Amino acid sequence: MSFSEVTLQLLNGFGTTCLLFILTLVFAIPLGLIISFGSMTKFKPLRYLTRGFVWIIRGTPLMLQLFVVFYVPGMLFDTPIFATIENGRFVAALIAFVINYACYFSEIYRGGIESISKGQYEACAVLGMTKGQTFFHVVLPQVVKRIIPPMSNEIITLVKDTSLARVISVIDIVFAAETILSLRALMWPLFYAGAFYLVFNGLLTLLFGFVEKKMDYYKV
Amino acid sequence: MSILEVKGIKKSFGSTEVLKGIDFSLEKGEVIAIIGSSGSGKTTLLRCLNFLEFADEGTISVSGELLYDGAAEKVAKKKLKNNDKLLRKKRLHFGLVFQNFNLFPHKTVMANLLLAPSLQLKSDLRAAKRAEKQMDRALKKASTEEEKAEIKKLFAEKIKRDYKDAEELRAKAEETLRRVGLIDKRNNYPCQLSGGQQQRVAIARALVMNPDILCFDEPTSALDPELTGEVLKVIRELKDSDTTMIVVTHEMEFARDVADKVIYMADGVIEEAGTPEEVFLHPKSEKAKAFLTSRSNAAKGTDDLD
Ligand SMILES: Nc1ncnc2c1ncn2[C@@H]1O[C@H](COP(=O)(O)OP(=O)(O)O)[C@@H](O)[C@H]1O
Ligand SMILES: [Mg+2]
């Protein structure tokens, strides 16, 4: 098997990896915000429910969650939903990733939101700002700056975590490399796949460094 | 009529009664200095006026309009605390300058001044548009000239706003920055300014909202001694342009020079009130005498009480 053939197959898997990565971010970033509101609400039942849910998701392995999302609906409705529909496996993986990462993100957001001083809210209040204005114009922009470092870490972990999706047979780049290994007894595509991750994460690191610098226009 | 009339304000946190019945009034253009040792309830009083806390009892009236009544609030179905819209309207009668500035760190000086009023202006403009449509409809129905005049008068009240447009608001913000001597810092961020400059921005930010009464909670306490002067100078100038103010302060000399009235608070009550001369030179209560002696010793540097 030639280098270009391997490259093509790996690229194919990498496309799935990237798609899973990007879609997870697209959904988990806003969903995390909603969950963080739930975990901070004054309405106690909802707060405890949300925190309990976050605790479960953060306290159990993502791999287990992948299996649960993939198999449990099938058992409940007596048909393996995700195994039959087109791209069902990918969708199941995406759901598990979004829930898992939204919970992690929500905790980062909560830390960020709780770190904004009471004085900021009071300054807004005496200036006659609404709660919504206060959150979107004063709190959120400051939270964004504070959470960039922990979010960067989490996002880089996500890149690597996407390879877990192959436990429910989503054909990502590692799955592709493994297939080559077992069919052709070629070892080097595994390392080649690793290089893809390194380059991707290297680019992300550069991007986050750039964003962090961009946000450095003020100090607290 | 007094611009501010405060009667029988009481406030407890749990079982500690922090304010035990505060009465005072303030005329337009007057400055009241509130002095007293720490823990006497001065901050709590200002917070009650700005509705950051809600007094358990007592009333607050501005220009004759009853803004707050503790007794009514107690039995009200919809508490003011939970009525965001009404609360904001009432709060805007007052401005508050905090001890530790509370500027928005992510906004430039100019943006700090403009944020709240420009959001306000936007919603006012939307409301005005709605009101104008309503007025046009009402005018069409009206038959006599008198009716029309009546309708116009009614809606003029609804369409009223602080600023005509964003242009006017910006001009006012610039003028205010000039007044506090910081126009050349308009594009800087708070972190690039000294404490004294930050506090002057905070004062300008409060002024742009056109409050009836501007409150200061120890505006110089967080500042290095060499920076207090510039902030006090701004407050002095505000007095000269007839800004009505309540200043909680530890600067006795400043209180004596600038205030029209001085209130000495101790343990949640007004122990002594009167002109600066009355309070500083002829205090009647023993507590006030002791406090003033300790402060003047502190000023001389023989004592270092708080
Ligand atoms: N939110 C609060 N909860 C409980 N106690 C409070 C609260 N705010 C103030 N106090 C208490 O009220 C008293 C008066 O405080 P404060 O109004 O800050 O006094 P001052 O500004 O004169 O120093 C203090 O004993 C303080 O501990
Ligand atoms: Mg205080």
Paired strand residues for B24: B6
Interface probe for A, chosen from B51, B90, B93, B106 (most Cβ of A below 10 Å), is: B106
Tokens of B266: 């101790």
What ipTM was assigned to the predicted interfaces of this complex? 0.91
> Which chain A residue's Cα is nearest to B85?
A130
Paired strand residues for B9: B22
pLDDT in tens, B24-49: 999 999 999 999 999 999 999 999 99
Does this model's pTM top 0.80? yes
pLDDT in tens, A96-137: 999 999 999 999 999 999 999 999 999 999 999 999 999 999
Ligand 1 atom closest to the CA of B248, numbered from 1 = 21
Tally of domains within chain A: 1
Q: CA-based Rg of chain A, rounded to a whole angstrom? A: 21
Range of weakest confidence among A172-176, B130-134, B284-288: B130-134
Q: Average pLDDT over chain A, rounded to whole?
A: 94
Q: Does A126 contact B at CB distance below 8 Å?
A: yes
Residues contacting residue B80 through CB under 8 Å, at least 6 positions apart: B51, B54, B68, B73, B86, B87, B90
Q: Which residues line ligand 1 (CB under 6 A)?
A: B 13, 18, 36, 38-44
CATH code: domain of residue A135: 1.10.3720.10
Q: What are phi and psi of B14, to 5 degrees?
A: 60, -120
Whether the predicted pLDDT of B72 surpasses 70: yes
B interface with A, Cβ–Cβ < 8 A, is 50-52, 84, 88-89, 91-92, 94-96, 98, 100, 102-106, 115-117, 119-120, 189-191, 205-206, 209
Q: Which residues of B touch A146 (CB under 8 A)?
A: none
Tell me how far apart the alpha carbons of residues B84 and B87 are, in angstroms, rounded to a whole number.
5
User: Coil, strand or helix: which one is B67?
Assistant: strand
Tell me how far apart the alpha carbons of residues A6 and B231 are, in angstroms, rounded to a whole number.
71
Query: In which domain, by residue range, is A9 found?
Result: 3-217
